[in-house]
Structures are given as structure tokens and as C-alpha cells.
């Protein structure tokens, strides 16, 4: 009798520890109980994550936080935004101060492994570039030998800069700052010949200059900067929630499900659409969410393409082309695994 009881107990405990019950005990459960999501964002990068005068955040990275909030709470506004500088962001995530980071963070091997973090996807394929004053008369990064370059501490930018100049046998002076604001101000004041960061950041930061048109982005892209959301190691269910929120936004775009037609799509007979909006299958249940989790995301926030155009694309000040961030069906790199 005793043995049978013990075996049953072991089986029960194993089931609880191994299975979907993680959704009841992990970070997702804490977030549900707390009533909001704590999102680590950048201190303010136009188009990606920036607060307005009333403290309302918007941007492509912010939309991912809003989308998770929509999936969990059926309300995109249950998010507390914590602005983090580049050098503080990983400690804030590791210590549990934020539930995830959603702010122009490059997926690299060391961050994904030794920092104890997991990247949940790539919401913006980027690469590093240079901004210079037009009057410098330089049309290529390869002509920057001997230049002083303003950059930011705690970024991949600093490291790529060193690699690039070394690989091309060019001398340079690096001038590194703790925040993006200090970096761009130093460049504007003439402290450096060039300013370097992710190309997305160059377009966003150029808007802060007094005469943006006096500056040009050089054609060279010197690195791969796959930017995406990051969570801590150790909570697979939470990783799934973040990963599949991003994937749902991409799949919705691919299937033509938009903010405006999401309700109409609830009546669709297309099996792929039915699985996404939750009229078929139990995909939400598998990640600890209601089965209309992805419908909620599109209804409240929109699909990936809508978020892109509104925040950084044609409907924004930045006017960035889809380029590598187009869907794979349109010649880009954005490709989400299927919901099935």
C-alpha cells in the first residue's frame, strides 16, 4: 500500500513539475496575479520605444509588450515600462526587476548563454552603420581612417567598431558614453567626426539633431544586429508566451488578419486562420492563456506589418523601408513557425 502511495505521489509531483502546470506557478502566473507586465524598454528611441509628454509609451518594441498584455489581460495597457540604459539592461532582467527586455537588443551567443538569458525571436533585423556631417565630405566608412567616433558603452556597437577598424587597418579614436543622449549630443557638438549605432538607431537619433538634413548615413553596414525580446533562463512557459506573441503577429500579417478585420476573421473557414484566432484547437491553453490569445493581440495591437508601418515605416517619421524585415513571402527574413 505504502509503495503504491509513494509511486502515485512521485507521479503526481512529476506531472506537476514537468507539464503545463508551470503556467500556474511560473512568471506568467505571477504576472496574472500582479495584474500587469513589467517591460524593460530603452530610455527613448523614436519609433522603437519612446514616451510622449503624458508618459504614454509607443513604438515597435513597445507594441510587443502591449501585445503580450493583450494576450494575457485582453487589454494592451496593463504594462509598466521601465526605461533602461544599454549598460544596465541585462542586470535589470537578471535580477528580476523586469519580466522581459523589449528594446533594440542584439541577439548574440554570449548574451544568450553566459548571461543566463533567452532570446525569444527577432522583431527587427538590423546592422550597424555610421552617421557623419555632410560637410566632412566622406561617402564611405572606408574613408574614416583617423576619425573620432562617438559610441555607447555596453553595446555590441563598441565591439563591432573595434573589429571593423582593425580589419581595415584604419586608426580611429573611440569616444564612448553611458547614454544615447550623451552620445548624440557629443557628436552634434563636434566632439566626434562620426556617430555609430544600429542603423535603426541612426535614423531615430538623427531626428534629435538640430538640422537632421546636414547629416548622412554612410552606405556600409558593418555587422549583423538581430534585435529581439529577451527573458531569463529557467521559465520555458514564459519564453513560449513571449516567442509566440511575436510569432502570432507575423503569422497574422501573413494570413491577412488585421486590427480592422479581426472580428470578421472569427467567422473564417480557413483552417490556418481558425487556429490563429482560436476558433479551432487549444493553442492558447498550451501556453497558459485563453484560446483567443492571438485574436486579442491582433484586435488590440495589430499584426507585425501594421505595427511596423505605424511606428517605423511609411506612417511614421522614420519612413524605414521593410527591407530585411519584410515577410519571407515578400523576399524578407521575417518568418514565423506555423500555429498547428
Ligand X SMILES: N[C@@H](CCC(=O)N[C@@H](CS)C(=O)NCC(=O)O)C(=O)O
Residue ranges that bind ligand X, judged by CB under 6 A: 42-43, 45, 85-86, 104-106, 152, 155-157, 179-180, 197-198, 201, 205, 225, 227
- What gap in Å lies between CA 240 and CA 311, rounded to an integer? 25
Residue nearest to ligand X (CB): 201
Nearer to ligand X, 73 or 107 (CB): 107
**Smallest gap, in angstroms, from Cβ of residue 41 to ligand X?**
10
**Smallest gap, in angstroms, from Cβ of residue 104 to ligand X?**
5
Nearer to ligand X, 118 or 303 (CB): 118
**Smallest gap, in angstroms, from Cβ of residue 135 to ligand X?**
24
Nearer to ligand X, 92 or 286 (CB): 92
Please classify residue 279 by burial: count the beta carbons closer than 10 Å to its beta carbon, then call 0-12 exposed, 13-18 middle and 19+ buried.
Answer: middle
Name the grid cell of 157.
556597437
Task: Give how far Cα 321 sits from Cα of 90, 124, 203, 255, 311, Å.
Answer: 30, 12, 12, 21, 12
Nearer to ligand X, 104 or 325 (CB): 104
Nearer to ligand X, 223 or 237 (CB): 223
**Smallest gap, in angstroms, from Cβ of residue 205 to ligand X?**
6
**Smallest gap, in angstroms, from Cβ of residue 192 to ligand X?**
14
Residues 6 or more apart from 334 whose CB is under 8 A from it? Answer: 122, 125, 250, 304, 325, 326, 327, 328
Number of other CB atoms surrounding residue 53 within 10 Å: 5
Name the grid cell of 76.
494592451
Cβ proximity of 248 and 294 under 8 Å: yes
Amino acid at each position: 500500500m505504502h509503495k503504491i502511495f509513494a509511486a502515485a505521489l512521485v507521479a503526481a509531483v512529476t506531472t506537476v513539475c514537468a507539464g503545463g502546470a508551470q503556467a500556474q506557478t511560473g512568471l506568467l502566473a505571477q504576472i496574472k496575479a500582479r495584474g500587469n507586465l513589467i517591460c524593460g524598454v530603452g530610455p527613448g528611441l523614436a519609433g522603437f520605444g519612446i514616451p510622449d509628454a503624458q508618459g504614454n509609451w509607443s513604438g515597435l518594441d513597445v507594441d510587443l509588450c502591449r501585445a503580450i498584455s493583450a494576450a494575457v489581460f485582453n487589454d494592451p495597457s496593463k504594462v509598466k515600462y521601465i526605461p533602461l540604459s544599454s549598460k544596465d539592461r541585462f542586470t535589470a532582467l537578471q535580477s528580476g526587476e523586469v519580466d522581459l527586455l523589449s528594446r533594440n537588443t542584439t541577439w548574440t551567443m554570449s548574451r544568450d548563454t553566459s548571461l543566463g538569458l533567452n532570446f525569444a525571436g527577432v522583431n527587427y533585423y538590423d546592422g550597424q552603420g555610421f552617421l557623419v556631417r555632410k560637410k566632412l565630405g566622406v561617402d564611405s566608412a572606408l574613408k574614416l581612417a583617423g576619425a573620432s567616433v562617438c559610441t555607447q558603452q555596453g553595446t555590441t556597437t563598441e565591439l563591432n567598431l573595434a573589429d571593423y577598424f582593425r580589419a581595415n587597418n584604419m586608426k580611429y579614436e573611440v569616444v564612448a558614453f553611458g547614454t544615447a543622449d550623451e552620445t548624440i549630443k557629443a557628436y552634434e557638438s563636434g566632439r566626434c567626426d562620426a556617430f555609430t549605432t544600429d542603423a535603426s538607431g541612426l535614423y531615430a537619433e538623427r531626428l534629435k539633431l538640430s538640422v537632421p538634413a546636414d547629416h548622412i548615413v554612410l552606405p556600409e553596414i558593418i555587422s549583423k544586429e538581430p534585435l529581439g525580446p529577451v527573458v531569463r533562463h529557467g521559465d520555458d512557459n514564459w519564453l513560449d508566451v513571449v516567442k509566440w506573441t511575436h510569432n502570432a503577429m507575423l503569422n497574422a500579417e501573413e494570413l491577412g488578419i488585421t486590427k480592422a478585420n479581426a472580428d470578421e476573421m472569427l467567422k473564417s473557414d480557413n483552417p490556418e486562420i481558425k487556429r490563429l484566432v482560436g476558433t479551432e484547437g487549444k493553442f492558447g491553453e498550451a501556453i497558459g492563456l485563453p484560446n483567443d490569445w492571438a485574436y486579442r493581440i491582433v484586435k488590440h495591437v495589430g499584426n507585425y506589418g501594421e505595427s511596423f508601418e505605424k511606428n517605423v515605416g511609411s506612417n511614421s517619421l522614420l519612413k524605414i523601408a521593410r527591407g530585411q524585415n519584410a515577410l519571407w513571402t515578400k523576399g524578407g527574413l521575417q518568418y514565423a513557425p506555423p500555429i498547428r
